[in-house]
Amino acid sequence: MSKIIAINAGSSSLKFKLFEMSTEQVLAQGLFDRIGLAEGEIKIKYGVGEKFETREEIKNHSYAVKRLLELLLDLEIIHEFSEIKGVGHRVVAGGEYFKRSVAIDSKVIKKINSLAEYAPIHNPANLMGIKAFKKILPTAAAVAVFDTSFHQTMPKENYIFSVPYEWYQKYGVRRYGAHGTSHRYVADVAAKILNRPLEKLKLISCHLGAGASICAIKNGKSFDTSMGFTPLTGITMATRSGDADVAMLSFMMQKLDMHSMPEAIYDLNKKSGLLGISGVSSDMRDVMAKSSTNPRAKLAVDIFVKDIVKYIGSYTAEMGGVDGIIFTAGIGENSAEIRSEVLKKLSYMGIMVDEESNAVRGENIVISTEDSKVKALVIPTNEELMIARDVAKIMTKKNVKSAKLV
């Protein structure tokens, strides 16, 4: 029996999923929220529909990890800490240095720290999670899985921006992309469903959550992706603008009497996207519910659909064709309507939707007709499972045990 835990540590939260790796069964999953604030929140789901929920102060990440492990014992999910053989940590920015998941040692820690300038909120939080686990589970293998590493295979013409080249050479300004673990997971599953080798497929993965990105996956490798240097670019998102003309910011800074660039960028990150266009909500369900009566809500949905169609069209052209289009994450997995709208606009490619299959929820499923030239699929993402699989792979390959931290 080998148990692996996947960890996603944010600045004030820690999410986890504990797997029994021999069967990939989820033993428990949950969230420690509002870390460092007066009233923290702990939610754990385990067993057959069992739940544990409480509110209490969670001082810091170390305390959250200690409490999590104690609760796993108390709830009899594990019987001793040593049953957890590996810990996989999601890390947001891996820069150009981390091209794949790695066993964590002191050098890796230093590097993740030095990459914090690319993800100032996330990387330090990820490191807090790493250090907290290392203290409490010193003998478990620790592995870092980067959101960016899948995209390190992009050809140069797809990651270099059309700006002074020195910006890249001196400061590392380039397209890094995001959601890599999700795109990698759904591409693997798609190849299995289509019963074709991943290395021979041209896929376009649409990760449509609050944050959203599209990825062209050619022969199993990320070929191009819509998120850029930061996760602000690409398609319209819940509150993020997606692609925007940066010169409008200096114009708007004058109009709105803003004094700093971060203040202006805040509006592109937090007040734009579905929320900014519709004025209704950042949540796609609310926006769709109002779209028959509120023209701005309808416009927000129309722009969202148009952006997806535009990226799929351009990625198909870049790859010289496409075999399958994958929908995943909150909107991609749950909204038959958005999928149908997108795919209808792509009928010129020979895609035909099977509306009966499209109506099914929460499964790995092909939603195009038998004779559709390009296949369309819905694949619920599972970034945590991908993280746990990477840990298992690295443990077997390198026989990683305890990596010493300084």
Q: Using the minimum distance from each CB to ligand ADP, give the nearer residue, 13 or 158.
A: 13
Minimum CB–partner distance for residue 305 and ligand ADP (Å): 12
Binding mask 3-42 for ligand ADP (x = CB under 6 A): ----------------------------------------
Minimum CB–partner distance for residue 224 and ligand ADP (Å): 21
- List Cβ neighbours of 304 (8 Å cut-off, separation of 6 or more): 235, 236, 274, 284, 338
Size of residue set near ligand ADP by CB under 6 A: 13
Q: Taking CB under 6 A as the rule, does residue 335 contact ligand ADP?
A: yes
Q: Using the minimum distance from each CB to ligand ADP, give the nearer residue, 159 or 176.
A: 176
* Chosen residue from 42, 65, 232, 329 binding ligand ADP by CB under 6 A: 329
Q: Using the minimum distance from each CB to ligand ADP, give the nearer residue, 15 or 375.
A: 15
Q: Using the minimum distance from each CB to ligand ADP, give the nearer residue, 243 or 283.
A: 283
Among the listed residues 62, 39, 205, the one whose alpha carbon sits nearest the alpha carbon of residue 127? 62
Scanning 82-90, 198-206, 252-260, 326-334 for contacts with ligand ADP by CB under 6 A, the matching segment is 326-334
The secondary structure of residue 97, as a DSSP letter, is T
CB-based contact 217:191 (threshold 8 Å): no
Distance between CA 337 and CA 304 in Å, rounded? 12
Query: Is 147 a residue of the active site?
Result: yes
Among the listed residues 89, 111, 83, the one whose alpha carbon sits nearest the alpha carbon of residue 98? 111
The reply, when asked if residue 209 is annotated as ligand binding, is: yes
Minimum CB–partner distance for residue 54 and ligand ADP (Å): 23
* Chosen residue from 100, 192, 285, 401 binding ligand ADP by CB under 6 A: 285
Tokens of 376: 């369309």
Q: Using the minimum distance from each CB to ligand ADP, give the nearer residue, 101 or 334.
A: 334
Distance between CA 108 and CA 92 in Å, rounded? 14
Minimum CB–partner distance for residue 70 and ligand ADP (Å): 28
> How many CA atoms does the CB half-sphere of 102 hold within 13 Å?
17
CB-based contact 243:275 (threshold 8 Å): no
Out of 74, 105, 147, 307, the active site residue is 147
Distance between CA 268 and CA 361 in Å, rounded? 32
Tokens of 109: 């820690």
The secondary structure of residue 402, as a DSSP letter, is P
The reply, when asked if residue 302 is annotated as ligand binding, is: no
Q: Using the minimum distance from each CB to ligand ADP, give the nearer residue, 241 or 316.
A: 241
* Chosen residue from 75, 194, 210, 405 binding ligand ADP by CB under 6 A: 210
Residues 255-284 that bind ligand ADP (CB under 6 A): 283-284
The reply, when asked if residue 324 is annotated as ligand binding, is: no
Among the listed residues 8, 328, 3, the one whose alpha carbon sits nearest the alpha carbon of residue 145? 8
**Which amino acid would we find at residue 205?**
S
CB-based contact 378:328 (threshold 8 Å): yes
Among the listed residues 200, 187, 70, the one whose alpha carbon sits nearest the alpha carbon of residue 137? 70
Minimum CB–partner distance for residue 2 and ligand ADP (Å): 28
Tokens of 319: 């790859």
Distance between CA 44 and CA 19 in Å, rounded? 14
Show binding-site residues for substrate. Answer: 90
Residues serving a catalytic function are 147
Enumerate binding residues for ligand ADP (CB under 6 A): 209-211, 238, 283-285, 288, 329-331, 334-335
Residue ranges for the known binding site for ATP are 15, 207-211, 283-285, 330-334
